[in-house]
Amino acid sequence: MSRKDPRAAGLARLAALVADETRAACLLALLDGRAWTAGELARHCGVAASTLSEHLGKLVAGGLLAEERQGRHRYVRLAGARSAQLVEDLAARIAPGAAEPPRTLRQSGAGSAMARGRTCYDHLAGRLGIAVTDALTARGLLSQDTGFALTDAGLRWFGTAGIVLDRRGRRPLARACLDWTERRPHLAGVAGAALCRHALREQWCVRIGTERAVKVTDAGERALSALLGLDAAALR
């Protein structure tokens, strides 16, 4: 009598979905939290539109991507925070020396910008994300004792800063997300998403280039210094 775990087939299908370089490239690109057209992803991945369409169909059918159509355009995005967490967690487990080194000065600059500060789906990552997480922890606003959790002081801090926490869903309020460049966890979950959204809306950070990289503005330096005692100038 077979004792095979009933989840085994599903896990195998999921692994097969990710185990393709083109599909993996799509998933990594979509970590910027935006919806992309099939044409944009095809150009990003360097494949024909027909080839990319087949890959997208598999990712949508597998539940990793969600599809939206507006007129003649087909948009895809990550299906949600759980899909983003899966992709980021897998990327974080790639050995530091295993990634292909940059071939051009432009690629090198883009990689440095991503390491300095970026969005990870809907929260801050890179050295910026780690610095914010460390500052929250040092001020007793975030506890890392047994996983990530906002303290009572942390909840008050978010309210005082005007950062709204939407706690209606099942998503955890605070979650540790392993940063693939820093090899340390940064803040994700409802709190991480709210902080990132607020930072972009108030232009504490602005997106740069076509990747997920962000940079801290002068206004962001002042705000992060006042609210968290963070020396954001060191992140430039």
Distances (CA, A) of 49 to 44, 53, 58, 61, 103: 11, 6, 15, 18, 25
Q: What integer pLDDT is reported at residue 156 of this predicted model?
A: 96
pLDDT at residue 81, rounded to an integer: 81
Better-predicted residue by pLDDT, 207 or 112: 207
Q: What is the pLDDT of residue 73?
A: 78
Given CA atoms 105, 110, 111, 112 in this order, what sign does their dihedral have? positive
Above 50 in pLDDT, residue 105? Answer: no
pLDDT band at 188, cuts 50/70/90? very high
**What's the pLDDT at 72?**
77
pLDDT category at 234 given cuts 50, 70, 90 is low
Question: pLDDT for 129-173, tens place per residue?
Answer: 999 999 999 999 999 998 899 999 999 999 999 999 988 878 899
Q: What is the pTM of this model?
A: 0.71
Going along the chain from its start, the domains and CATH numbers come out as 8-79 (1.10.10.10), 101-235 (no CATH)
Q: What is the pLDDT of residue 92?
A: 73
Give the other-Cβ count within 10 Å of 163's Cβ.
18
Q: What is the mean pLDDT of residues 47-58?
A: 92
pLDDT of residue 98: 47
The distance of Cα 80 from the centroid of its chain, to the nearest Å, equals: 11
What's the pLDDT tens digit per position in 106-123? Answer: 444 455 778 888 988 889
